[in-house]
Amino acid sequence: IRRELHRTEKLAVLSELAASVAHEIRNPMTVARGFMQVLNQAQVSESKKQIYTAMVIEEIDRAQSIINDYLSFAKPQAETLESIDISSLIQKLMNLISPYASLRDVQIKVQFEPGLWIHGHLEKMIQCLVNITKNGIEAMPKGGTLQLRGYRQNGRVILEIHDDGVGMTHEQIDQLGTPFYSTKHKGTGLGMMVSYRIIKNLSGEISVTSQLNKGTCFKISLPAVVIRS
């Protein structure tokens, strides 16, 4: 399915989303407020204070993640697209996700054809790939291998992100990209939606194949840019 997201359409999505974002932020705020009220009472034991404080911080972090993810979608982008060299894009991506991967015993393998270029917004593309690779890493709680591949096919640049993690059911795959759909304790359920929109904005396509307990592969296809030297 190739389709451009037009400005008015994007605005509609934004305002629709704003309402649910407000709702999702209100929840952790209410919880945090409740804990603060309890903490304010003199007779709270030291151990309970610690627990409540940790919970308040967790709720605030959650609200913050939601705001960050939403803003990355809502942030206006320049009308003109820049030429992006995939190898430098991947280098920047690696700098961002490597620490997260090694912390979780995930090895990253990279295999890219040279000379791959696309049109896009560098920051948005990084955001898109961070969201997908982060999910891949999180899908492997016992560690594993994340494979990133890039090649050219029929005038398009194909980027593949494989993990050998928990995988998804058909029902889960159908929910992907729905705002706030998350199976994670601290998930925001905004990452995939943001990634899908970024790719669609570039006349790209994104597909997913997944098998429960085997792993998942996201495949992104974007028009290739011909660079003459």
CB of 137 to ligand ADP, least distance (A): 9
| Of the candidates 52, 50, 46, the residue with the CA atom closest to the CA atom of residue 32 | 52
Q: Which does 165 bind (CB under 5 to 8 A by kind): Mg ion, ligand ADP, none?
A: ligand ADP
| 203-to-2, 60, 185 alpha-carbon distances in Å | 6, 36, 33
Residues 134 and 118 sit within 8 Å (Cβ to Cβ):
no
Does 204 bind ligand ADP (CB under 6 A)? Our answer is no
Q: Which does 24 bind (CB under 5 to 8 A by kind): Mg ion, ligand ADP, none?
A: none
- The pair of three-digit structure tokens given for residue 146, joined into one six-digit string: 């994340």
**Contacting range for ligand ADP; rule: CB under 6 A; set: 35-43, 81-89, 149-157, 178-186:** 178-186
Per-position x/- string for 128-147, each x denoting binding to ligand ADP as judged by CB under 6 A, each - no binding: ---x---xx--x--------
Q: Tokens 């929840």: give the residue.
A: 27
Residues 190 and 73 sit within 8 Å (Cβ to Cβ):
yes
- The single residue among 135, 147, 210, 216 that binds Mg ion, judged by CB under 5 A, is 135
Does 201 bind ligand ADP (CB under 6 A)? Our answer is no
- The single residue among 159, 192, 198, 206 that binds ligand ADP, judged by CB under 6 A, is 192
| Of the candidates 193, 168, 198, the residue with the CA atom closest to the CA atom of residue 179 | 193
| Of the candidates 105, 205, 206, the residue with the CA atom closest to the CA atom of residue 164 | 105
Nearer to Mg ion by C-beta: 72 or 135? 135
Per-position x/- string for 181-220, each x denoting binding to Mg ion as judged by CB under 5 A, each - no binding: ----------x-----------------------------
**Sheet with 215-223: strands ordered across:** 106-112, 144-153, 156-163, 215-223, 205-211
Q: Tokens 């974002």: give the residue.
A: 21
Beta partners for 219? 160, 207
Where do contacts with Mg ion occur on this chain (CB under 5 A)? 135, 191
Query: What is the contact surface with ligand ADP in residues (CB under 6 A)?
Result: 131, 135-136, 139, 163, 165-168, 172, 176, 181-184, 187-192, 216
